[in-house]
Amino acid sequence: MARLPRGSTALDNQVGGAPAFLMTLGETTLVALPGVPPELFWIWEHPLVPYLDDLLGPGGFAETTFQIEHRDESSIAAMLQEIQKRHAGVYIKSRAHGFGEEDLLRITVHATGESDTSARALANAALADLRERFGALQIPVTESDGRS
């Protein structure tokens, strides 16, 4: 049996014995979860998601990642910012992935919306815009994770 902070609420854990709790301090809600993945995932999906839905309201998320054959991340930074500004609810980031003869940049598109479906539509619109711009610059898109 674990001791929890005074004023906290224990979160149900039907997978193991690790404690989890949430605690509201003023306008801040603190959530403490166990580090054991199966327990963390179960708690997240069962008692925590409904609580967060009530607290934050409905919302959705989508993400897709692809790679481009390009060496210079700085040469596309302004374009990525421009596309991100055109697509509300979308965040675009790039990072180097691999060095040598075949330098690659990994581009990730994150989108939030009123639902997973609307977030997916936002991500897909930004992705189409990115593909069009990379095509115009003759920068090959080499891989996509298929998530969006």
Confidence class for position 72, pLDDT limits 50, 70, 90: confident
Residue-level pLDDT at 144: 63
Q: Work out whether the CA dihedral 143, 65, 106, 109 comes out positive or negative.
A: positive
Residues whose CB falls within 8 Å of the CB of residue 138, separated by 6 or more in sequence, listed in order: none
Reply yes or no on whether the pLDDT at 95 is more than 80: yes
User: Does pLDDT of 3 surpass 50?
Assistant: yes
| pLDDT > 60? residue 12 | yes
**pLDDT tens for each residue of 113-140:** 999 999 999 999 999 999 999 999 998 8
Q: For the chain, list the domains and their CATH numbers.
A: 9-56 (no CATH), 60-144 (3.30.70.360)
Over its C-alpha atoms, the chain yields an Rg (Å, rounded) of 20
Among 2-6, 54-58, 72-76, name the one with the lowest average pLDDT.
54-58
3-state secondary structure (DSSP) of residue 91: strand
Highest mean pLDDT among 43-52, 53-62, 95-104: 43-52
* pLDDT score for 10: 95
Buried b (16+ CB within 10 A) or exposed e, 27-58: eeeeeebbeeeebbebbeeebbeeeeeeeeee
